[in-house]
Amino acid sequence: MKITTNTIAILKNFAKINPSILIPEGNTLRTISPSKTIMAKATVDSTFPQRFAVYNLDRFLSTLSLFPDPDLEFGDRTVVISDGKQKISYVYAEENTITKAPEKEIVLPSEDVKVTITEAQMRDVEKAASILGMPELLMEGDGTTVRLQAADSKNPSGDTYSIDIGSTDSVFKAIFKIENIKTIPGDYDVTISSKGISHFRQGKVEYYIAVEQSSSF
């Protein structure tokens, strides 16, 4: 089989969340961070013929990059990656050596905030957080406006970068650790539950990201 560029892009993103992955039969990929604060799911345009585990996903992707046009043939214990006269036999990991994402679908316990964040807005806030050394991303509603901020909730008198992203009749402050925002670029529909979890969705890619306990709704 061939792995498309779309699938490679998703796997590269998932490698930032968890260095290992269990790839099931089919075209739905899932991963979860070792800390269980991020879970991601994507429907890709490559269909895998069988279930297999990869311990070091970055290494697997780098191995694929050795070939201009790799073809994958899956066996019981290895996948043979080849292109012309070149080939590598890549050994699967044992499933009990990796952190696997649950296959059960996640349902938010409540839907208390809904907002859309554009790729440009997220990029600007992440850039500001990096420059200012801010550890958190905040979504804050004051009953009129929703603002996306780079800030440090433990230092409310410190520097803060904010951008208006919408309107609301609710008052809330949803706090995320910047290190948990590992989405691929794009515009996202975001739903936040006051029970401590959020859902970021862009087309066929979804992320469930923990909301910090210091948030308020």
Domains in the chain: boundaries: 5-97, 113-210
pLDDT tens-digit map of 37-50: 999 999 999 999 99
Which pLDDT does position 50 carry in this prediction?
96
pLDDT tens-digit map of 148-199: 999 999 888 889 999 999 999 999 999 999 999 999 999 999 999 999 999 9
Instruction: For domain 113-210, give the fold.
Output: Proliferating Cell Nuclear Antigen (3.70.10)
Q: What is the average per-residue pLDDT within 97-116?
A: 95
pTM: 0.94
Which amino acid does the sequence have at 6? N
Which pLDDT does position 156 carry in this prediction?
83
Instruction: For domain 5-97, give the fold.
Output: Proliferating Cell Nuclear Antigen (3.70.10)
Partner residues linked to 145 by β-bridges = 167
Same-fold call for 5-97 versus 113-210: yes
